């Protein structure tokens, strides 16, 4: 199925999607935790940076925009600094804020997450607390009228309509029913990401609904413990709400979908390193909506959504995944070794993503010409120093400059693929320069590793890495093995063989 998803992305245009729902601002406060407060048994967070992102329906809109859709977001924000930040983040994502109604009566819903890590111990990021600032009462009659007017106008220009209902008061039963009917009258598919509630009757007549596990349980009364439960809950919603499709997001258990024309399928998750599940549900919705808007059938759209969610959980907080990134990941799934080999530009973007996901980056480098036990020992030691190991590999020209004529024995393509096939190596990046310093400056590793035949002061890049608090470590030396010695031994053996077998 991933082949179909990959082909879909390659051929996809820019479908028009209208997103209507509860717009929020997500604030992330990142820092280091190195001690416990004397005032109580609580961690002390030393703040290092802050970041604002769109949340709720705004996050869904940003994700769809990153996938390549043309998105119109309709919602309500306060006439306050948080509302201004939300509009600025929309502009950053290339979104038009014309569909946002400014409220003089309620603040912009804001969720602030505080995340800390123990830098000295190399531990991954951990969310400490989340603080919500919001009003969940229904908006005034005038503000509801303005939102409805903006929504109806946006529906008229859309290929697909999405309701993102977070239960914050904006999407009341009257407005939902009106929008469902408006979409039906105009022949537009309407997809709902529903509220956690027992009453789904306002969603009746929608095209498709995407509840998560807990939402589906509450709406149907079915405890979702296995395949038959998933099927029963999905068909209960299909029949009760007269839908064409139901997609149930089952977090670690994947996705189950059923359609009115008789399709039933459970798609399990692929094994991933999970940094944070925040945003995974929105990613499922965004990728599914994008797939359907591009003409994909349910199975292909769900497979795309399931795969995209697996990427999303690798980041801290909700993060938009671009169409390019998703397409690359799909291609890499088909060729696991090739996906590890990165260009310089790719590795710059990669290390930013890894840091945001709280990963500790280890780095080592070399020619790795004829791979031997000493190399393997170095790579194993290097991998143990971090969560991710990036290996800088001298290009053929660079290796020739260092090692002399006749080297390397193996081409850079062969050496790259051999390294990438090793479990301890996460990524390989070629560098053309004789010195690896500029690549180290691009990567900014948490730990720089070289073999123990060096001194720390003799390691290229040691001053730079230490300047920002990184570490330089020397791996144990495997005595009696080196590429040069192997080449000389092969030559001697070949010479003896020639003497013993004269032409």
Burial classification of residue 367, based on how many CB atoms lie within 10 Å of its CB (0-12 exposed, 13-18 middle, 19 or more buried): buried
C-beta atoms surrounding 263 within 10 Å? 13
Task: Report whether the peptide linkage leading into residue 408 is cis, meaning its omega lies within 30 degrees of zero.
Answer: yes
32: part of which helix (H) or strand (E)?
A: strand 23-36
State how far the Cα of 184 lies from the Cα of 193, in Å rounded to an integer.
Answer: 17
Token representation of residue 375: 């190399």
282 as an active site residue: the answer is: yes
C-beta atoms surrounding 175 within 10 Å? 20
DSSP 1: -
DSSP track, 327-367: HHHHHHHHSHHHHTEE-HHHHHHHHHHHHHTTPPEEEEEE-
Burial classification of residue 239, based on how many CB atoms lie within 10 Å of its CB (0-12 exposed, 13-18 middle, 19 or more buried): exposed
- The catalytic residue among 26, 193, 282, 303 is 282
Q: Which residues of 342-351 are buried (b: 16+ CB within 10 A; e: fewer)?
A: beeeebeebb
Helix 57-67 to helix 323-334 angle, to the nearest 10 degrees? 60
| Long-range contact pairs involving 81-89 (C-beta distance under 8 Å, separation at least 24) | 82/25, 82/107, 82/108, 82/110, 82/133, 83/25, 83/107, 83/108, 85/25, 85/52, 86/23, 86/24, 86/25, 86/54, 86/58, 88/52, 89/25, 89/52, 89/53, 89/54, 89/58, 89/62
State how far the Cα of 58 lies from the Cα of 131, in Å rounded to an integer.
Answer: 18
Are 417 and 390 in contact by the 8 Å Cβ rule? The answer is: no
- Return all residues near 383 (Cβ < 8 A) that are at least 6 apart: 362, 389, 424, 425, 426
Residues labelled as active-site residues: 282
């Amino acid at each position: 199925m991933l082949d179909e998803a990959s082909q879909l992305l390659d051929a996809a245009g820019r479908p028009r999607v209208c997103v209507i729902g509860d717009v929020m601002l997500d604030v992330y406060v990142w820092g280091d935790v190195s001690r416990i407060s004397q005032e109580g048994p609580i961690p002390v967070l030393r703040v290092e940076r802050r970041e604002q992102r769109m949340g709720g329906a705004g996050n869904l809109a940003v994700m769809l925009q990153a996938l390549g859709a043309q998105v119109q977001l309709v919602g309500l924000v306060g006439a306050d600094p948080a509302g201004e930040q939300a509009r600025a983040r929309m502009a950053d994502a290339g979104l038009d804020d014309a569909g946002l109604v400014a409220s003089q009566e309620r603040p912009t819903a804001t969720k602030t997450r505080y995340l800390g890590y123990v830098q000295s111990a190399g531990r991954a990021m951990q969310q400490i607390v989340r603080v919500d600032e919001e009003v969940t009462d229904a908006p005034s009659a005038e503000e509801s009228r303005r939102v409805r007017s903006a929504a109806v106008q946006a529906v008229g220009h859309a290929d697909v309509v999405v309701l993102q209902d977070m239960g914050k008061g904006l999407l009341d039963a009257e407005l939902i029913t009106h929008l469902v009917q408006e979409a039906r009258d105009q022949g537009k598919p309407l997809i709902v990401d529903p509220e956690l509630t027992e009453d789904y009757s306002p969603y009746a007549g929608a095209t498709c609904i995407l509840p998560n596990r807990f939402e589906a349980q509450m709406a149907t009364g079915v405890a979702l413990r296995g395949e038959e439960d998933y099927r029963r809950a999905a068909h209960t919603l299909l029949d009760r709400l007269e839908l064409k499709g139901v997609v149930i997001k089952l977090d670690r258990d994947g996705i189950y979908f059923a359609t009115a024309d008789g399709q039933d399928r459970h798609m399990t998750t692929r094994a991933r390193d999970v940094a944070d599940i925040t945003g995974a549900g929105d990613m499922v919705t965004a990728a599914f909506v994008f797939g359907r808007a591009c003409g994909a059938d349910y199975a292909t759209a769900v497979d795309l959504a399931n795969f995209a969610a697996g990427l999303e959980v690798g980041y801290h907080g909700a993060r938009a995944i671009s169409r390019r990134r998703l397409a690359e990941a799909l291609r890499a799934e088909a060729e696991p070794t090739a996906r590890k080999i990165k260009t310089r530009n790719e590795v710059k973007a990669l290390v930013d993503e890894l840091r945001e996901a709280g990963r500790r980056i280890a780095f080592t480098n070399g020619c790795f010409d004829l791979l031997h036990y000493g190399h393997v020992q170095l790579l194993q030691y290097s991998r143990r120093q971090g969560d991710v190991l990036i290996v800088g590999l001298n290009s053929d020209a660079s290796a020739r400059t260092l090692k002399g004529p006749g080297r390397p024995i193996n081409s850079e393509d062969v050496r790259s693929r051999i390294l990438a096939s090793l479990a301890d190596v996460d990524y390989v990046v070629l560098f053309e320069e004789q010195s690896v310093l500029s690549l180290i400056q691009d990567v900014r590793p948490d730990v720089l590793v070289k073999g123990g035949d060096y001194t720390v002061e003799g390691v290229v890049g040691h001053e730079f890495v230490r300047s920002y608090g990184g570490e330089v470590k020397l791996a144990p030396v495997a005595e009696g093995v080196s590429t040069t010695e192997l080449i000389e031994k092969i030559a001697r053996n070949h010479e003896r063989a020639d003497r013993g077998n004269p032409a």
